Structure 1
Amino acid sequence: MSQLKKVINTTQLWSIAVGLVISGEYFGWNYGWASSGTIGFLISTLIVTVMYVTFIFSYTELTAAIPDAGGTFEYASRAFGTWGGFIAAFATLVDFLLAPPAIAYALGSYTHFLNPNIPVIPVAIGTYFVFIAINVLGIKESARFSLVVTILSVLELIIFMAIIFPFFKMDNFLAHNPPSLTADNIFVGIPFAVWFFVAIEGVAMVAEEVKDPNKTIPKAYISGILTLVLLALGVMILSAGVCDWRTLSNIDYPLPETLAITLGRNSYWAKTFASLGLFGLIASFHCNTISYSRQIYALARAGYLPKFLSAVNQRFNTPHWALIGGGLVGFVAIFTGTTSQIIILSVLGAVIMYGISMLSLIVLRRKEPALVRPFKAPLYPFFPIIAFVLSVVCMIAIIYFNQFLGMIFFAGMLVSLGGFYLFIKKKNARY
């Protein structure tokens, strides 16, 4: 079987880490205001930020020590065996297969904002065709593309914050909040706070294609999470203070709408930002496409999915069937759920995967003490324990406030578990 090529350097990996997530600064998080208010959602975001910082500093140890495209699935398999690997695989697939359709829908919404004559759904579907084609051409070309659009996206967010900063008023930020702050106000906003950072763990899925992974992965992960924390807090806090934030809390294009409200709907900056805002969504969609395809490829290679999905294109060394298969799942999601529902399911898969990853780290420290660990989690075991506890808290909050979606998630897991046992495991048992 053909292997993936090692071509990604540190800067490109940083761009993939940030690019995977940066659309979360452009849309999705604002739904947290509708449920939590600005103050409750700020607290939700700070809790989630602590979870991600401790998680990434811990997860980097696993990714650098085991640079495998399977990511969490590989770590959990080594720590807990076949069934632990299955749970990790299912959670990771939900995370990375459902993030792209939410982003694609937002791309359609941004385009519709620019030109109301262009419908949302065709743009969302067309996005899949374009970026699957780009990713089939090769990871080196994809990484270069990712670097360009990610840098443009980061610069755009910095310019956005600079433009709206003079309009910020603390009275706007504090207005219209619930009269008393409760645990419900805080925890109901958790899934949308997670959306600020979700998918950065996708770096693990391109680990097999990284040059000098022992040094490259830690540098890219840590610089990536620091970049995202600064952007997330800056965009969220400043946006809430420049106008009545309630007008932004249920739309898929909050940033151009913020500029339209503050500068006027005919403002040059508002129209320019809406046009350039597509770069942030494109960066995340592109990088998530890379990640979901590598996850499908790794699972199929290990026998958890049909073997044909592990095929690598002989000319471009890319997993073409994995790219196409994930795209088909995205098509279905676009037509069957709202953006907020897709986000909730995606982040539920993510926080479950985070918890399993932290348990895997702790178990592998004992089970494989001789494993070469180029980077070790600081303040061990406190960082992984904090990340694990907060991921469990987030999981409980998401399920409690979204019980129907939680039922859909676990029903899907049970059905997949049965299918894995009956049709896949018996034929392609790995252990």
Structure 2
Amino acid sequence: MEVTEKLHSTEEKVEKKENLSRVLKPVHLWALAVGLVISGNYFGWSYGMEKGGALGLAVALIPVTIFYVTFILSYSELATAIPHAGGPSAYARRALGKFGGYLNGISCLIEFVFAPPAIALAVGGYVHAIVPSIDVMVATVIAFLFFILVNYMGMRVSATFELAVTVIALVGLVLYWLLAAPYFELSRLLTEPYFPNGTQGIMAAVPFAIWFYLAIEGGAMSAEEMVNPQRDISKGFLSGMATLLVMAFLTLFMTAGITDISVVDNVDFPLPMALSTVYGAGSIPVILMSIIGLFGLIASLNGIIIGYSRQTYAMARSGYLPKFLSNLSEKHHTPFWALLLPGIICLGTALTGLTDVVITIAAFGSVVMYIISLISLFILRKKEPDLKRPFKVSFPIVPAISFVMAIFCFISFFVASFDVVPYVLGVYVIAIVYYFIWGNKHIRPLEEEFGTLDDLDKK
């Protein structure tokens, strides 16, 4: 009896050492899903108006929104059936095998490693706009290092912080809409030519329409830190998607309706800039929106750091990436190397200052990941019909619509952002060469990799 008790005690200590802590509830996932994306309302999207005009971006936003609604419904099925910190890499591993899991994980990392530099640059831009004496790059680097530290302090700390700044950022958007409403004129939105760059411009605006929703799927990577992932993931995701849908259209139309789009189509702080045209530069509404805008950017930066660290941690734990990246801090139970090493890469990318380019690269990686994840859903429905699915999407109609829309988004990159494609392909080539030289030699067995699901089934 004493020997058995000691064995159980040892197993519990090992499990505690290897596993993340379960502390999150649906409201935290809602905050993470919205917070991951909310910066897309405060910056980034306005570059799409330079490409296709205000109406061109609005038209691009329609298929993108249809895609994300159907994708999140489909993704919720995967996330609740396979509540794994690896998220996309875990779903594809189970459906497509080792290489499929690796490719989807790398696609997710491309999205989550290239999105933070753009957000950090925008943080620097907002800080510089408020305090001109502070250099943009200095503010960018300090912000990034600070939020790596916040995440190192543990998921409870970072999730509580995420909830607080997301609520503040959401209140800030509502305030922006109210400040813009008295000056809104439909005629500005309908300025001719409606589509200054034609179909080409609409296609070119797609990556920036995606920015309104980019990274919402990152919430799935907190699955192993949720108290009841199989019940609560769908609640957090679907409420988050509904919130983001309303935000995207209101922000786009309110901005285009109060100012000439040439004022905001090439800046990292479009909302304060738009308000400055009606309230005056340096006015209280403009200063207030600049300050609150920081909270929106901070919410996304913090959330995406959570996302890239968990994806890196999970892929290292699986054996795809070097083992040391899965080491957890004994005190805070956070993957400190998975926070730090990708963070250094993010900082190096941020120092290029090329916001629009890194946005496109991040969006490209995301769309590849979406396509592979949807393929995984179709395969798992056939391959594992008896897999426990707490949330089931209307199959095959919803995933099929999502897949068609994802292909449309993918094609738009080649049509309108061909100059960025070589950079993306270069990253994939390096990643694939790494896989066949080292990454495929240390992968954990499938039954060991998904042992966490067996634990859930016992509850």
TM-score, structure 1 as length reference = 0.97
Specify the SS of the correspondent of 1:404: coil
In structure 2, what is the Cα distance between the partners aligned to 1:428 and 1:371? 23
After TM superposition, give the deviation of residue 115 of structure 1 in Å.
1.6
Output one character per residue of 1:404-431: Cα deviation in whole Å (capped at 9) or x when no partner.
3111111211121111111222244656
Structure 2, unaligned stretches of length 5 or more?
Answer: 1-16, 447-459
After TM superposition, give the deviation of residue 382 of structure 1 in Å.
1.2
Larger Rg: 2
What letter corresponds to residue 17 of structure 1 in structure 2? Answer: A
- Answer whether contact 1:37 1:176 (CA < 8 A) is retained: no
- Answer whether contact 2:88 2:104 (CA < 8 A) is retained: yes
Aligned to 1:381: 396
What letter corresponds to residue 35 of structure 1 in structure 2? Answer: K
Aligned to 1:392: 407
- Answer whether contact 1:38 1:177 (CA < 8 A) is retained: no
Equivalent position to 2:320, from 304, 308, 311? 304
What letter corresponds to residue 431 of structure 2 in structure 1? Answer: S
Specify the SS of the correspondent of 1:8: coil
Aligned to 1:401: 416
What letter corresponds to residue 156 of structure 1 in structure 2? Answer: G
RMSD of aligned alpha carbons: 1.3
In structure 2, what is the Cα distance between the partners aligned to 1:185 and 1:428? 44
After TM superposition, give the deviation of residue 399 of structure 1 in Å.
2.3
Aligned to 1:231: 247
Aligned to 1:334: 350
Structure 1, unaligned stretches of length 5 or more?
Answer: none
Aligned to 1:78: 94
- Answer whether contact 2:316 2:326 (CA < 8 A) is retained: yes
In structure 1, what is the Cα distance between the partners aligned to 2:422 and 2:377? 28
Task: Pick closer, same or farther for the CA change 1:265–1:181 going to 2, 3 Å.
Answer: closer
Aligned to 2:383: 367
Equivalent position to 2:431, from 397, 416, 426? 416
Equivalent position to 1:276, from 288, 292, 295? 292
In structure 1, what is the Cα distance between the partners aligned to 2:442 and 2:282? 62
Output one character per residue of 1:197-246: Cα deviation in whole Å (capped at 9) or x when no partner.
00000011111000111221111000000000101100101100111111
Aligned to 2:265: 249
Aligned to 1:16: 32
Specify the SS of the correspondent of 2:441: helix
- Answer whether contact 1:352 1:392 (CA < 8 A) is retained: no
Task: Pick closer, same or farther for the CA change 1:2–1:58 going to 2, 3 Å.
Answer: same
After TM superposition, give the deviation of residue 390 of structure 1 in Å.
1.0
Aligned to 2:167: 151
Task: Pick closer, same or farther for the CA change 1:92–1:315 going to 2, 3 Å.
Answer: same
Identity fraction in percent: 39
After TM superposition, give the deviation of residue 337 of structure 1 in Å.
5.0
In structure 2, what is the Cα distance between the partners aligned to 1:140 and 1:238? 36
Aligned to 1:111: 127
Deviates more, 1:180-189 or 1:350-359: 180-189
Equivalent position to 1:63, from 42, 55, 79? 79
Runs of 4 or more above 3 Å deviation: 176-182, 427-431
